[in-house]
Amino acid sequence: MNQENLVKLIELAGQKGITIGSCESFTAGLFCAALASVPGASAVLKGGMVTYCNEIKATLAHINPVLLKQKGAVSPEVCAEMALNARVLLDVDYGVSFTGNAGPSGQDGVPVGLFYLGLCKPDQTITYQCFSSQPRNLLREEAVDLMVEKLLQAIENDGQLAFSSKS
């Protein structure tokens, strides 16, 4: 993972008094662990929820079970709700979310390598559709690195979120 960007994120968010929380599925807490590896993270990272299965997404993160059934866990709609609920439930400035299929095989019509990142601030939620052919754990690290980049961009631009996807 890009340690330089992690340090930059913690320093910048700390300087601006910004807090971050997460709702993670396929990254299984890797985002929180990465941020927590940086000294000073406690001023920025308030916490995270690991919601690896749909039952926990519904009960812990308050994801609408009907939405989960209709759209599937790996969808922009569920990803957006995960980010929003992370922001609200954890009472943070930025809620982030990760949902995807890291393999080893496709599931429910979702190909291996497809993932979504969600980023929510008080007045805006955006999702990014991504695809990577990286092996399982490198894919998870790539997702965390991409989210760190998105957060840095948003914070550097005073909260303006960029509407773009990375393939």
- Mean residue pLDDT across the chain: 94
pLDDT, tens digit (0-9, with 9 covering 90-100), for 129-155: 999 999 999 999 999 999 999 999 999
Q: Are 79 and 117 in contact (CB under 8 A)?
A: yes
**To which H or E segment does residue 70 belong?**
helix 65-71
Q: How confident is the model at residue 167 (pLDDT cuts 50, 70, 90)?
A: very low
For residue 161, the 8-state DSSP code is P
Q: Report the distance separating Cα 68 and Cα 46, nearest Å.
A: 26
Distance CA 40, CA 62 (A): 30
Pairing between strand 45-50 and 20-24? parallel
Return the CATH class of domain 3-156.
alpha beta
Residue 114, strand partner residues: 131
Which segments within the chain are labelled E, that is strand?
A: 20-24, 45-50, 94-100, 114-121, 124-131
Instruction: Report pLDDT for 107.
Output: 80
